[in-house]
């Protein structure tokens, strides 16, 4: 393997030539991985209080540094050219507009900063200045209503009396020759990093700087050690109270998140949702201060259970559920400025649509239809709604959305010149009958210039999760347009267990996570093989995470595919207990309680049937599906005499996130597909 790496790496480096710029001046060309990595990536916007301007982060990837750097941009919501607001090296992120409209707070690591710090910049021009000096770093800034204080999250040691002690401990640990850590309870890891002994808490700091004031540190609860986003806390409109979510399980293995409130000056917290045994998260105050909104799940230990929207009347403490008759997962809400309604981008039948919810009647109505939306923000009178639009044919783009009819005005054009030289394949949504005769939705992405009179090879993709739906949305990690550009018909089916099709459909694969998704995959292959434009002798399949699990499942069962791709694949459910969520209690039973039944749901149990050539890809830093899973799968294939290849990334996690590594990954996948299902013959 080590002998082969330099040749592949050299190939990847040679592919870095500016092909996209040339394509823009000549005939349109299919989307390549190289062109895809030239696309500037747009972050979620924040709106000025009057709704007239939006600020958003833009990440561009540097060829030589092999990493991205993010700057902040301003744009009028009426349309026009974006203006760069920051330009320092590094990543400027999480912008937040002050209520008086004078400042934008953001998070960055600049100069001598060892951890991310809080910065503010005047909206009318000028230089950014750092607010305070927090040795443990900051995230998730939010303004208090007076525009004089900013709240943020920092992970701190609760036993230390002040920030200087925290700085000293960090320096001591950095210099120490002993790097050992110890735990008495989980969580231990998260995605690609180890979780130390600090707690996550909310603090406030004056705009002019000074020592931060603890808000939740003495509350008796801590925020999640695994997620420190803005969705985990909110500030009341009068600035007197903070709502936050915390796990009340003392063991670390049976999570139950509740919504708490605490005085903004600190003190003991009060649990508002103790009645529910499952998770209550995402508190958001209404602008008029009357309501506290949060989302609730009711099935304990089922992380994909539908979220319900609940309202608490802060005057009477009365609670009620919103949209009780609608079978979709409701989360990611934003309040309309008049406090009478809500907006959210909802996972709805393979499209993330913007919906409007009336809080009095509970009625909902779709605002958008096609394309997928996220990152919503609203402000002003009349209210101006902006968000991120994307599809299989459009990378994330900042847009304004008309609340009345869903008409969209494009606000960002940073990638237009680049994409003018790209020929995208057409996209179609189809339905076929899957397991039990149920309708299964599937996306079909055709090669550019598709001719139905010709025969094409098939690359059938299997999504991760498993409780995630494949939406009409862009992805940089498994880009279907790149695969289609190689000459393949590419499909992505929403098998049983996928989100966006109602709770019963999502929950239909518990506890048996194999049978229905496997049957849906075989039925998809049969439906596709019957199309006159598919060459059934050139069909391949692949997936990552749970999709890799499905690839490993196909290995042990009858299927029509000439080769498989298994990225970050769960292969052995017994050893998957070593993952970053392995300590959590399972919903139905543990492996040691019913080992024979548990083994039925694990791909490794069927290794005696493995015969299909398989490309195995895995990252060293992956804690969601640890590296041993990929090595176990590869070694088993080799032991069985099955043609296989292991591609190992020592500096990647569950995903391939670095530019050079990603190009290498796409090259390996393309070589594998071409060997077993060549696209050149169509």
Q: What is the CATH number of the domain that holds 649?
A: 3.40.50.1820
Beta strand 53-62 with 46-47 is: antiparallel
Q: Is the dihedral of CA 599, 605, 606, 610 positive or negative?
A: positive
Does 444 reside within a domain?
yes
* Among 471, 658, 633, CA closest to 566: 633
pLDDT value for 503: 95
Instruction: Give the tokens for residue 218.
Output: 């003495």
The helix or strand, by DSSP H or E, that contains position 291, with its residue range, turns out to be strand 291-296
Coil, helix or strand at residue 405: coil
Residue 94 binned pLDDT confidence (cut-offs 50, 70, 90): very high
Q: Are the beta carbons of 543 and 517 closer than 8 angstroms? A: no
Domain of 639 in residue numbering reads as: 427-580+589-676
Does 681 reside within a domain?
no
Residue 205 binned pLDDT confidence (cut-offs 50, 70, 90): very high
Q: CA-CA distance, 460 to 645, in Å (whole number)? A: 19
In which residue are the tokens 């609608």 written?
Answer: 326
pLDDT value for 258: 98
515 torsion bin: left (phi>0), alpha (psi -120 to 50), beta (else): alpha
Q: CA-CA distance, 324 to 581, in Å (whole number)? A: 31
| CA distances, 653 to each of 192, 549, 566, 586 (Å) | 6, 17, 15, 24
pLDDT value for 21: 38
Q: How many domains does the chain have?
A: 1
Strands (E) in 113-256, as ranges, are 117-122, 129-130, 139-143, 149-156, 189-190, 193-194, 199-206, 213-214, 233-235, 241-247
Q: CA-CA distance, 139 to 345, in Å (whole number)? A: 24
Coil, helix or strand at residue 280: strand
Q: Are the beta carbons of 332 and 345 closer than 8 angstroms? A: yes
pLDDT tens-place string over residues 434-492: 999 999 999 999 999 999 999 999 999 999 999 999 999 999 999 999 999 999 999 99
Query: How would DSSP label each residue in 637-667?
Result: HHHTT--EEEEEETT--SS--SHHHHHHHHH
Burial 393-431 (b: 16+ CB within 10 A, else e): bbbbbbbbbebeebebeebbebbeebbebbebbebeeee
Strands (E) in 77-145, as ranges, are 83-84, 93-97, 103-108, 117-122, 129-130, 139-143
* Among 42, 36, 43, 61, CA closest to 476: 36
User: Residue 462 contacts by C-beta under 8 Å, 6 or more apart in sequence?
Assistant: 492, 493, 495, 517, 521, 541, 542, 543, 546, 547, 550, 551
Does 640 reside within a domain?
yes
Residue 14 binned pLDDT confidence (cut-offs 50, 70, 90): very low
pLDDT value for 225: 87
Could you give the percent of the chain with pLDDT greater than 70? 96
pLDDT value for 9: 35
pLDDT tens-place string over residues 637-661: 999 999 999 999 999 999 999 999 9
pLDDT value for 26: 66
pLDDT, mean of residues 611-617: 98
Q: CA-CA distance, 390 to 375, in Å (whole number)? A: 11
Coil, helix or strand at residue 542: strand
Does 261 reside within a domain?
no
pLDDT tens-place string over residues 210-244: 999 999 999 999 999 888 888 999 999 999 999 99
pLDDT value for 27: 81
Does 526 reside within a domain?
yes
Listed range (10-19, 267-276, 414-423, 599-608) with the worst mean pLDDT: 10-19
Instruction: Give the tokens for residue 560.
Output: 């029509």
Q: Is the dihedral of CA 90, 199, 247, 625 positive or negative?
A: positive
Q: Are the beta carbons of 273 and 297 closer than 8 angstroms? A: no
pLDDT tens-place string over residues 551-567: 999 999 999 999 999 99
92 torsion bin: left (phi>0), alpha (psi -120 to 50), beta (else): beta
Burial 205-227 (b: 16+ CB within 10 A, else e): bebeeeebbbbbbebebbbbbbe
pLDDT value for 567: 98
| CA distances, 392 to each of 28, 110, 446, 492 (Å) | 17, 35, 11, 11
pLDDT value for 456: 98
The helix or strand, by DSSP H or E, that contains position 357, with its residue range, turns out to be strand 351-358
Q: CA-CA distance, 354 to 373, in Å (whole number)? A: 7
Predicted TM-score of the model (pTM):
0.93
Coil, helix or strand at residue 238: coil
Instruction: Give the tokens for residue 85.
Output: 């607001």
Does 601 reside within a domain?
yes
Q: How many CB atoms lie within 10 A of CB 577?
A: 15
Does 336 reside within a domain?
no
| DSSP H helical ranges for 92-209 | 163-175
Coil, helix or strand at residue 578: helix
DSSP label at residue 91: B
pLDDT value for 25: 57
Q: Are the beta carbons of 326 and 346 closer than 8 angstroms? A: no
pLDDT, mean of residues 605-621: 98
Q: Are the beta carbons of 63 and 53 closer than 8 angstroms? A: no
* Among 575, 557, 572, CA closest to 604: 572
pLDDT tens-place string over residues 259-285: 999 999 999 999 999 999 999 999 999
pLDDT value for 597: 95
Radius of gyration of the chain from its Cα atoms, rounded to whole angstroms: 25
Query: How would DSSP label each residue in 21-55?
Result: HHHHHSS-EE--HHHHTTSPEE---EE-TTSSEEE
pLDDT at 110 over 50: yes
pLDDT value for 369: 94
Q: CA-CA distance, 602 to 618, in Å (whole number)? A: 19
User: Residue 73 contacts by C-beta under 8 Å, 6 or more apart in sequence?
Assistant: 55, 56, 57, 58, 82, 83, 84, 85, 412
pLDDT tens-place string over residues 290-304: 999 999 999 999 999
Q: CA-CA distance, 83 to 73, in Å (whole number)? A: 5
Q: In the predicted model, what is the mean pLDDT of the chain? A: 94
pLDDT at 143 over 50: yes
Return the biggest CA–CA distance within the chain.
Answer: 74
pLDDT, mean of residues 349-372: 95
pLDDT, mean of residues 74-100: 95
pLDDT value for 230: 87
For 269, counting Cβ atoms within 10 Å of its Cβ (0-12 exposed, 13-18 middle, 19+ buried), the class is buried
Q: Are the beta carbons of 81 and 74 closer than 8 angstroms? A: no
pLDDT at 548 over 60: yes
Does 148 reside within a domain?
no
């Amino acid at each position: 393997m080590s002998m082969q790496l330099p040749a592949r790496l050299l190939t990847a480096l040679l592919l870095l030539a500016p092909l996209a710029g040339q394509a823009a001046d000549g005939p349109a060309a299919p989307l390549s991985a190289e062109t895809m990595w030239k696309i500037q990536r747009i972050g979620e916007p924040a709106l000025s209080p009057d709704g007239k301007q939006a600020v958003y982060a833009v990440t561009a990837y540097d060829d030589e540094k092999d990493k991205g750097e993010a700057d902040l941009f301003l744009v009028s919501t009426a349309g026009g050219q974006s203006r760069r607001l920051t330009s320092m090296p590094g990543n400027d992120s999480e912008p937040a507009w002050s209520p008086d409209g004078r400042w934008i707070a953001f998070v960055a690591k600049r100069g001598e900063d060892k951890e991310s710090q809080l910065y503010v910049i005047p909206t009318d021009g000028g230089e950014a200045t750092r607010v305070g000096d927090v040795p443990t770093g900051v995230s998730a800034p939010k303004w208090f209503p007076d525009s004089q204080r900013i709240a943020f999250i920092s992970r701190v040691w609760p036993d230390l009396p002040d920030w200087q002690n925290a700085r000293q401990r960090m320096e001591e640990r950095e210099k120490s020759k002993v790097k050992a850590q110890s735990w008495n309870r989980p969580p231990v890891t998260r995605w690609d990093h180890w979780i130390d002994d600090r707690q996550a808490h909310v603090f406030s700091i004056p705009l002019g700087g000074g020592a931060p004031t603890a808000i939740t540190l003495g509350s008796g609860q801590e925020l999640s050690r695994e997620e420190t986003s803005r969705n985990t806390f909110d500030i009341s409109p009068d600035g007197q109270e903070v709502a936050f979510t915390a796990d009340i399980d003392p063991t670390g293995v049976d999570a139950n998140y509740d919504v708490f409130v605490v005085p903004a000056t600190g003190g003991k917290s009060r649990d508002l949702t103790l009645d529910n045994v499952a998770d209550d998260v995402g508190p958001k105050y209404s602008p008029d201060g009357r309501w506290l909104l949060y989302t609730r799940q009711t099935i304990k230990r089922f992380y994909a259970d539908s979220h319900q929207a609940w309202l608490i009347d802060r005057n009477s403490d009365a609670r009620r559920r919103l949209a009780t008759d609608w079978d979709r997962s409701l989360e990611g809400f934003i309040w309309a400025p008049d406090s009478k309604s809500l907006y959210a981008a909802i996972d709805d039948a393979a499209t993330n649509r913007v919906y409007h919810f009336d809080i009095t009647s509970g009625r909902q109505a779709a605002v958008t239809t096609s394309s997928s939306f996220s990152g919503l923000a609203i402000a002003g009178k009349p209210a101006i709604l902006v968000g991120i639009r994307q599809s299989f044919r459009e990378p994330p783009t900042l847009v304004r959305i008309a609340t009345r009819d869903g008409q969209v005005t494009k606000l960002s054009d940073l990638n237009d010149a680049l994409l003018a030289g790209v020929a995208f394949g057409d996209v179609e949504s189809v339905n076929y009958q899957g397991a039990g005769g149920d309708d299964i939705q599937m996306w079909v992405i055709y090669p550019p210039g598709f001719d139905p009179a010709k025969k094409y090879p098939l690359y059938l993709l299997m999504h991760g999760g498993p409780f995630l739906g494949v939406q009409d949305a862009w992805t940089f990690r498994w880009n279907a347009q790149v695969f289609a550009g190689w000459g393949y018909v590419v499909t992505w089916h929403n098998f049983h267990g996928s989100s966006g099709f109602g709770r019963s459909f999502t929950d239909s694969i518990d506890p048996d996570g194999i049978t229905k998704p496997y049957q849906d995959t075989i039925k998809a292959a049969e439906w596709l093989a019957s199309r006159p434009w598919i060459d059934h002798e050139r069909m391949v399949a692949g997936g990552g995470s749970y999709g890799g699990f499905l690839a490993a499942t196909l290995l042990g069962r009858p299927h029509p595919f000439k080769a498989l791709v298994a990225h970050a694949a769960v292969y052995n459910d017994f050893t998957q207990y070593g993952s970053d969520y392995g300590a959590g209690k399972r919903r139905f039973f543990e492996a040691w309680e019913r080992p024979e039944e548990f083994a039925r749901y694990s791909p490794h149990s069927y290794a005696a049937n493995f015969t299909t050539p398989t490309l195995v890809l895995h990252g060293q830093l992956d804690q969601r599906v640890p590296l041993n899973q990929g090595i176990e799968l590869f070694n088993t294939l080799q032991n069985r005499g099955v043609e296989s290849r292991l591609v190992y990334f020592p500096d990647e996690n569950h995903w391939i996130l670095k530019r050079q590594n990603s190009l290498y990954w796409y090259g390996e996948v393309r070589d594998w597909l071409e060997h077993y299902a060549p696209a050149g013959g169509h």
